[in-house]
Structure 1
Amino acid sequence: MPASPSTARAINDRLALRLLQREGPLTAGQLKQLTGLSRPTVADLVERLAVAGLIEVAGESGEQRRGPNAKLYGIVADRAQLAALDVRTEGVSVVVSDLLGRVLAESSAPIAGDVGTGPAVEQAVALVERVAKEAGADRLHTVGIGAPGLIDPATGELRSSTGLPEWHRRLVAALQERLPEARVHVENETNLAALAEQRDGVAQDRDTFVLLWLGHGTGAAVVLDGSLRRGASGGTGEIGFLPVPGTAGLPSATGCEGGFHSLAGSAAIAELAGEYGVVAEAGEHAPAAAGLVAAGTAAFLDALADRLAVGVSSVVAVLDPGCVVLGGEVGQAGGADLARRVEERVRRMSPLPTEVRSSALGGAAVLRGALLTARDRAQDDLFSPPER
């Protein structure tokens, strides 16, 4: 059944806008060539998008020819301002960008563990408002949030999780209340890191892969055939709860101690480093663990690779992803050296060929993924211009 005229217009408009976002300003002739649409159809959509305030003349092509040069059309970048948040146990990072993803302002702030829920929420919201003001964003169109924990697939809300601060859940509602015109979306931090690695990092050539998050805690994101898989309850990739050998016990429904987290979380890495005489900045958080890995001896990296291979080989046996990315601050700090060690061990443990790569984005992948998600959602909303 052929598409209706209005549906066809919407499809063509969206295609043209995506091309302008990816390629930058284009002439009507270039849009015709790239879309395969007729000249009258392109002329109509250019007029329609300009009237809707989505594109504008951004210059001239500069081509040498008779008559005036062709006009270049580009997306109106300041049509919408976006915010992205990386919410961690110990603080929040915020970035504000325009519709094309160009960063306008950014900042981070620690939030002490002994701060109450109300004050912690107020600190985080105040940071968002301050960064938005610095960016000159009077009104945020979309806010993307990356946070640890499970996202309810039915409601899209962050579920209550043992061991995570209550202010994480309260923050989403507080932002929606203080920014009533903004569209606020929350996603698991590891899922956002995988999205960023697929779009801008080391997994750009992969439609199927698993990202193993190695930071303060552990987690995994599963991308199969180009789609992120969340599971029936939103818990796909909760690898910290995976029962593994080498721990003192078994994990429980209320805590992952005894699971893979006990082998690969930041506190476990710090303890392992001490056994091998590796000394760096003390602390149980991801940056401290990453410093230990970066300063690690060959013997320490071998021992860490032994641990990581247990989790990776379990994922490989179930999913056969062909590629595993060691993400987070620890994965990036280990670099190709740690990735090679893990790959060698997985090769001995599994008959399924698996490439192990080190993250290109590290801990910054969460914020990048949150920004990409906010931009995609804003464009989905704005790139549907009203019918004429």
Structure 2
Amino acid sequence: MVVERGARTGRDGSPRLLREINDRAAIEALLREGPLTRAELEDVIGLSKPATATLLNRLEGDGVVRRGELRGGNRGPRAQTWYVNGALAHVAGVSVTPNDVDVVISDITGDSRVEHRSPMPSGDTDAVLSAFGDALTAAAAKVGLRTDELAHVVVGAQGAVDPATGHLGFAPHLPGWEGFDVPGRLGELLGTEVTVENDVNLVALVEMDEGRARDVRDFVLVWLGDGVGSAVVVNRALLRGATGGAGEIDWMHVPDRAGRDTGSDRRGGRFGKLVEPGAIMALARAHGLEAADGEDAIRKAASDPGAREFLTDYARRVATGLAGVVSVLDPELVLLSAGIAQAGGTALAELVAAQLHELVVPRTPVETARISGNPVRAGALRAAIGLARERVFGLSTTAAGVLPASAE
């Protein structure tokens, strides 16, 4: 069940509007702080004891809040706590890669109910959509839900959705997902609202909410993993571009400024090909560094002063790709994310900053993103929760401010 609580006013305007404002303040406090007693809620939202009691009774009657455990010490009666009814809505956050579909379902409070991962077949559109639908259906069934009972589903995918057509572009790594209205088809398949968002944009969203960009208005996040991309945030909103392709730096052509020759076109080549794991291994071999894979090479070099020349060469490549972006946008911060960035840590970030500052005027700091694990899925879930809270409670959230509620 989804309870709609959008802002409404009575004919005279004020009493009903004030109730809505107070209700939202209380709901927001309970979502942020967790279960609170009436007295604790009074302190947070600044209402009187009678007004808070009336508010809680009203929200309980509407099914929005529930009574929790009693709380208290050794002296005096224990106090009743209240919490938001998570069963009001459930949402799903999904990460789609060429290899799998990774799903997490939570209630509207953010309490994760189930995680589910299924392989993604390589094939035509019908095959990949069928696998996607089966994965969501299996995940929802584990918590006794149908997919059409989910309030919102946010899908993080490589590439970008054209806002005019719903087509997924810049996604050669996702065969079977191109050439059709992706949000529209998925919405029909699942029977609910679906938002498809670029995977790196979702990582930027979660960094804004709980990572290193919490207090930053303008920043660029660069994804250094099996794929290469970036997210651009201006004034706390994602910059998408006319076709949804803002931040798609993988195909940007840049010169190879590494000191050692690895056979690349020194005059200019695809940025993604210069910084992806295969290129890292070639650069490591040119420096005489043995490693199991690209992340291993970066991790070893970050902790070994003797491999600093190799790490500096890699930082030169990253900085060369960033230079044009930073020169145009002049952001407050550049964040390096994904496995390669995490492997390099502070050592890589400092070298990229030093190389970048040789190429551009802005003294933009470069740091490693804080959110690790599966940040794409985490960002998708946070976006889905934010969109559901906007719909159910009328709350303004970061996700609701930067992501469209649904595709046209």
Give the structure-1-normalised TM-score: 0.85
CA contact (8 A) 1:332 1:361 kept: no
Match of 2:134 in 1: 126
Match of 1:92 in 2: 101
Distance 1:295 1:367, change over 3 A: same
Three-state SS of the structure 2 residue aligned to 1:168 is: coil
In the alignment, structure 1 residue 215 sits paired with structure 2 residue 225: yes
Looking at structure 2, the residues matched to 174 and 259 of structure 1 have their Cα atoms a distance apart, in angstroms, of: 32
Please, which of 77, 80, 96 is the counterpart of residue 86 of structure 2? 77
Match of 1:358 in 2: 368
Looking at structure 2, the residues matched to 328 and 63 of structure 1 have their Cα atoms a distance apart, in angstroms, of: 46
CA contact (8 A) 2:105 2:114 kept: yes
Distance 1:277 1:160, change over 3 A: same
Three-state SS of the structure 2 residue aligned to 1:248 is: coil
In the alignment, structure 1 residue 179 sits paired with structure 2 residue 197: no
User: CA offsets per residue over residues 101-134 of structure 1, 9 Å max, x none?
Assistant: 2222213333354x33322222222122222222
In the alignment, structure 1 residue 248 sits paired with structure 2 residue 248: no
Looking at structure 1, the residues matched to 266 and 54 of structure 2 have their Cα atoms a distance apart, in angstroms, of: 67
Amino acid at match of 2:80: K
Looking at structure 2, the residues matched to 211 and 3 of structure 1 have their Cα atoms a distance apart, in angstroms, of: 44
Judge which range, 325-334 or 88-97, deviates more. 88-97
Match of 1:284 in 2: none
Deviation at 1:279, TM superposition (A): 4.3
Match of 2:295 in 1: 290
Distance 1:250 1:218, change over 3 A: farther
Deviation at 1:137, TM superposition (A): 3.3
Deviation at 1:162, TM superposition (A): 5.6
Matches within 5 A, 1:66-215: 66=76, 68-113=77-122, 115-138=123-146, 139-154=149-164, 157-161=166-170, 163-168=172-177, 172-180=183-191, 182-215=192-225
CA contact (8 A) 1:145 1:187 kept: yes
Three-state SS of the structure 2 residue aligned to 1:239 is: coil
Looking at structure 2, the residues matched to 222 and 160 of structure 1 have their Cα atoms a distance apart, in angstroms, of: 17
Deviation at 1:94, TM superposition (A): 1.3
Looking at structure 1, the residues matched to 171 and 152 of structure 2 have their Cα atoms a distance apart, in angstroms, of: 29
**Identical-pair percentage:** 35
Deviation at 1:384, TM superposition (A): 4.5
Looking at structure 2, the residues matched to 192 and 135 of structure 1 have their Cα atoms a distance apart, in angstroms, of: 25
**Across the two proteins, how many residue pairs are aligned to each other?**
368
Deviation at 1:367, TM superposition (A): 0.7
Distance 1:116 1:79, change over 3 A: same
Deviation at 1:189, TM superposition (A): 0.7
Match of 2:348 in 1: 338
Match of 2:313 in 1: 303
Judge which range, 97-106 or 242-251, deviates more. 242-251
Looking at structure 1, the residues matched to 386 and 277 of structure 2 have their Cα atoms a distance apart, in angstroms, of: 32
CA contact (8 A) 2:336 2:349 kept: yes
Amino acid at match of 2:379: G
Please, which of 43, 51, 62 is the counterpart of residue 61 of structure 2? 51
Provide structure 2 residue ranges, at least 5 long, that are not aligned to the other structure: 1-11, 257-263, 302-306, 396-408
Match of 1:272 in 2: 283
Judge which range, 258-267 or 53-62, deviates more. 258-267
Match of 1:19 in 2: 29
CA RMSD in angstroms comes to: 2.7
Distance 1:326 1:38, change over 3 A: same
Give the structure-2-normalised TM-score: 0.81
Three-state SS of the structure 2 residue aligned to 1:351 is: coil
Three-state SS of the structure 2 residue aligned to 1:97 is: strand
Looking at structure 2, the residues matched to 25 and 75 of structure 1 have their Cα atoms a distance apart, in angstroms, of: 8
CA contact (8 A) 1:58 1:71 kept: yes
Three-state SS of the structure 2 residue aligned to 1:240 is: coil
Amino acid at match of 1:90: N
Deviation at 1:74, TM superposition (A): 0.4
Amino acid at match of 1:107: H
Deviation at 1:21, TM superposition (A): 0.9
Deviation at 1:166, TM superposition (A): 4.5
Judge which range, 96-105 or 159-168, deviates more. 159-168
Distance 1:273 1:78, change over 3 A: farther
User: CA offsets per residue over residues 52-77 of structure 1, 9 Å max, x none?
Assistant: 212101122315665x4332110112
Distance 1:320 1:278, change over 3 A: same
In the alignment, structure 1 residue 35 sits paired with structure 2 residue 45: yes
